[in-house]
Amino acid sequence: MSALFEPFTLRDLTIPNRVWMPPMCQYSAAPEGPDVGAPHDWHFAHYGARAAGGTGLIIVEATGVSPEGRISPYDLGIWSDTQVEAFRRITRFLVAQGTVPGIQLAHAGRKASTDQPWKGGAPLGPDALGWQPLGPSPVSFDERHAVPTELTVTQIKEIVRQFADAARRALAAGFEVAEIHGAHGYLIANFLSPHSNRRTDEYGGSYANRTRFALEVVDAVREVWPDDKPLFFRISATDWLDEGGWTPDDTVRLASDLQAHGIDLLDVSTGGNAAGVHIPTGPGYQVPFAARVKAETSLPVAAVGMITEPEQAEKILVNGEADAVLLGRELLRSPSWARQAARELGGDVRVPEQYHRSV
């Protein structure tokens, strides 16, 4: 039996295989009007195709817990019941294909209010569907981005509540896995790293203070997320800075703290919080960070980052570097990657009856 196609159980949920789709923003939701932030036909077709292709778990893209928590005006949101109804169409179809539906709950922090990437991704002002970004400190991501408004403690508590409310709606929408976005330079990552967090109150300075917001969000979400359903956390394991940033040592330490607060799996990525850094990319370049967390803690991990070939993915699991693999761009290119990999590795994957002639 291929390790890639062994089921994986977390709490009471069994995911049929270890081929997972990470959150990848489509920047295709309505930016205003009655359907603002809600998924529509593009999202249904996009996620549905990967489910029909045999993907075991699909984590829907970064979904804003509030309007100002979106990366762009064109991102998904889950701050209203209208959005819940639209998500149900997608989760029902994924479940019908044997795929576990997950969702990433997110707040973009100081990198919010930008245009669609294919239009250049420039920051947008209030006169162009944009808004004023928020952050732990008035420190911009780079010279293009606006200086964020420093959050008050009262506002921080409100955002914690927004994460919990979003989790309740995600449950009502039919999602079986929730992931908290703590990576890529968005709000939780802004708090974690001393590069972006210059506060002097209980949310800044020491490791304990900088991780306080993340753990408060986890506690609030875990309180409303059912005990029988797993909760993930996505982390950037390093800022890729020589000094003054979040480090792999910090990630290992936080992994144990997250597990103690009810996180069931760490989704390990890197970067995104510091502009202009050199990231030595290449096949599987982020896997060692996941492998270290797995080796030094008891928290399950998923690996991501230029994982493209079935044998490469299989080796990561066989070598004990991760418990699952997340394929991003490769699943954009090949929606049926899981079925193709199963043929190569001798694995078993569900095939829709309509596609049996392709087996």
Token duo for residue 279: 């990231």
Domain coordinates of the chain in residue numbers? Answer: 19-278+291-300
**Residue-level pLDDT at 129:** 96
194-195-198-203 Cα dihedral, nearest 10 degrees: -40
Token duo for residue 217: 């969000």
Quote the CA–CA distance of 233 and 182 in Å, as a whole number: 7
Phi/psi class of residue 322: alpha, beta or left (left: φ > 0; alpha: ψ in -120 to 50)?
beta
> Cα–Cα–Cα angle for 221, 250, 217, nearest 5°?
15
355 is catalytic: no
**Residue-level pLDDT at 301:** 98
Residues of the chain with pLDDT under 50: none
Alpha-helical regions (H) of the chain? 41-52, 81-96, 153-172, 187-192, 207-210, 212-224, 248-260, 287-296, 310-318, 329-333, 337-345
- Say which amino acid occupies 282: G
**Residue-level pLDDT at 110:** 98
**Residue-level pLDDT at 43:** 98
CATH of domain 19-278+291-300: 3.20.20.70
**Residue-level pLDDT at 356:** 87
Q: Which of 186, 203, 207, 285 is catalytic?
A: 186
Q: Checking DSSP bridges between strand 13-15 and strand 8-10, what pairing results, if any?
A: antiparallel
**Residue-level pLDDT at 56:** 98
Phi/psi class of residue 320: alpha, beta or left (left: φ > 0; alpha: ψ in -120 to 50)?
left
Residue 63's beta-bridge partner residues?
105
User: CB-hemisphere CA count at 13 Å for 108?
Assistant: 30
Task: Look at the block and give the residue holding tokens 């209030």.
Answer: 126
